[in-house]
Amino acid sequence: MKLLRLGAPGEERPAVRTDEGRLLDLSSVTPDIDGVFLASGGVDRARAAVAAGRLPELDADGLRIGAPVTRPGKVICVGLNYRDHAAETGAAIPSRPVVFMKDPGTVVGPYDEVLIPRGSVKTDWEVELAVVIGQRARYLDGPRAAREVIAGYAISHDVSEREFQLEYSSQWDLGKSCETFNPLGPWLVTADEVGDPQNLGLHLSVNGEKRQNGHTGDMIFPVDHLVAYLSQYMVLQPGDVINTGTPAGVALGLPGNPFLRSGDTVELSVDGLGGQRQTFAQA
């Protein structure tokens, strides 16, 4: 099942996208797609409503697509989780996941404008597979338990400002938490529909030029391991988002470091999860 939210920022309504591409209004089932909905059997209720034909069709012409979950409590990120990306940045292969946090306020819709921060000269792109948590989780006992708390997956664009991230502080937060720096969506695809999260291609282009072409099978730490690992150090709550890392092809690792500028357009996709498109502008 594909869950999404439609409407202006702060006024989104929940919806379901059918296999035929129709958009159905989910407002009679839930006021929003959030942690409460995910943790209370909301996906099953939505599935039953679709099967019963109880949901009216939406006219989505001109409607903005928002992030598929309302503002998450946490956005947890994993750095250097692809060997080729670690190599291109000159970093050693980590022996344990590299974990950092991103301001949840960075989450925007998949087609929203992204703002290059004032003073930025090194704004960079990163296509990632995002995991959305569906059940409260603490001290999970391995990968099997981890799979049971995953609601689904989405495309995440972990936009980064490399000078802020790597040169201004020993922590990465400054370069990761700038406004609009985490487009998410277009929809949340439930875990049962995705199947194996380690069998997905990731793709990104800038102004029509291919930059990233990776595969989740190349992750150093797979999804199940990451979820179980993180639960040893923090309580994962329904609606939390985990960005699982990016493959090679970022501006930081390319000849000439072609960082993003105002007017640039980035398009990205993950197999089975749809696509995103953002135009960058000056903050």
What's the pLDDT tens digit per position in 118-135?
A: 999 999 999 999 999 999
The mean per-residue pLDDT over the stretch 43-62 comes to 94
- Give which of 178, 176, 174 is closest to 160, Cα–Cα: 176
Q: Are residue 134 and residue 13 in the same domain, yes or no? A: no
Number of domains, the chain: 2
228-245 pLDDT tens trace: 999 999 999 999 999 999
Q: Reply yes or no on whether the pLDDT at 60 is more than 90.
A: no
Do 176 and 102 share a domain, yes or no?
yes
Domain of residue 42: give its range: 2-51
Decide if 275 is inside a domain.
Answer: yes
* Pair (81, 173) in one structural domain: yes
| pLDDT reported for residue 221 | 98
d(CA 11, CA 32): 10
- Same domain flag for 46 and 115: no
pLDDT of residue 112: 98
CATH code, domain carrying 82: 3.90.850.10
Q: Is residue 62 part of a domain?
A: no
- Look at residue 181 and tell me if it is in a domain: yes
Clarify whether residues 98 and 147 are in a common domain.
yes
pLDDT digits (tens, 9 = 90+) for 49-58: 999 999 999 9
Residues 179 and 259 in one domain: yes
172 within domain boundaries: yes
Measured between its terminal Cα atoms, the distance across the chain in Å is 36
Q: What is the pLDDT of residue 90?
A: 87
Determine, yes or no, domain membership for 64.
no
Q: What is the pLDDT of residues 136-165, one digit of tens each?
A: 999 999 999 999 999 999 999 999 999 999
* Same domain, residue pair 82 and 9: no
Kindly state whether residues 140 and 12 are assigned to the same domain: no
Q: What pLDDT shows up at residue 198?
A: 98
pLDDT in tens, 194-204: 999 999 999 99
- How far, CA to CA in Å, does 245 sit from each of 61, 79, 107, 121, 126? 33, 5, 16, 22, 8
Considering the domain boundaries, does residue 65 fall inside one? no
Query: 98 and 24 in one domain?
Result: no
256 falls within a domain? yes
Q: What is the pLDDT of residue 269?
A: 98
Domain co-membership, 40 together with 180? no
Compute the average pLDDT of residues 45-66: 95
| Whether residue 124 is found in the same domain as residue 243 | yes
pTM for the model = 0.97
Query: Phi, psi (5° rounding) for residue 116?
Result: -80, 125
Judge whether 70 lies within some domain: no
